Amino acid sequence: MIRIGQGVDVHPFDDARPLILGGVRISDSGGLAGHSDADAVLHAITDALLGAAGAGDIGQYFPSDDPKWSGASSSIFIREAKRVVRDMEASISNVDVTIIAQKPKLAPFREAMRASIAKLLDLPPGHVNVKATTTDHLGFIGRAEGICAMAIVAIATDTAGSPIEGAL
């Protein structure tokens, strides 16, 4: 059985911080504000994995008002979501990410993000896709006030793939 999950995340820019997307330090650009390292890409993938598992959302596992996660690497979040998927005896089929940002230019970092995400999820790079687009200067993204990341994942189970009760 195939199960699908989606995740969406938005963070505003904070030029005082480094920009980290998909676990990759994006050079020559201000970063994003957020409680953790503000890696919107890994947050969106985490939510997509939890969605596919029927296991809630990232905020239930890692509350943003919990000081424990202040400045945390988002690799912690995605690893936990991977564990939830593994515990329901499912395997991740593929991940597709869209980053919507007016700046910076992300194409030079696309392959590095793909490799980083694939490594975090123990997948061959061909099972991960990263796309980047702009809003042609429309809206808050177009004014370069923040970045949006969207992710969709498919997970495969041998069985009916019942979500684990009490997975939270």
Considering only 3, 43, 82, 127, the residue that binds Mg ion (CB under 5 A) is: 43
Say whether residue 37 binds Mg ion (CB under 5 A): no
Say whether residue 78 binds Mg ion (CB under 5 A): no
CA angle 150, 147, 70 (to 5 degrees): 95
CB of 87 to Mg ion, least distance (A): 23
Selected range binding Mg ion among 1-9, 21-29, 93-101, 117-125, rule: CB under 5 A: 1-9
Cα distance between residue 82 and residue 122, in whole Å: 9
Return the half-sphere exposure (C-beta side, CA atoms, 13 A cut-off) of residue 81.
Answer: 34
Considering only 5, 7, 9, 48, the residue that binds Mg ion (CB under 5 A) is: 9
**Among all residues, whose Cβ is closest to Mg ion?**
43
Say whether residue 47 binds Mg ion (CB under 5 A): no
Say whether residue 82 binds Mg ion (CB under 5 A): no
CB of 118 to Mg ion, least distance (A): 21
Cα distance between residue 73 and residue 46, in whole Å: 13
CB of 106 to Mg ion, least distance (A): 17
Contacts (Cβ under 8 Å, ≥6 apart) of 118: 124, 125, 127, 128
Selected range binding Mg ion among 17-25, 43-51, 144-152, 153-161, rule: CB under 5 A: 43-51
Selected range binding Mg ion among 6-14, 47-55, 96-104, 131-139, rule: CB under 5 A: 6-14
Question: Dihedral of the CA atoms 21, 36, 150, 146 (nearest 10)?
Answer: -80
CB of 77 to Mg ion, least distance (A): 9
Q: Report how far Cα 110 is from the mean position of its chain's Cα atoms.
A: 14
CB of 9 to Mg ion, least distance (A): 4
Cα distance between residue 102 and residue 145, in whole Å: 9
What six digits make up the tokens of 81? 């979501």
What is the binding site for Mg ion (CB under 5 A)? 9, 43
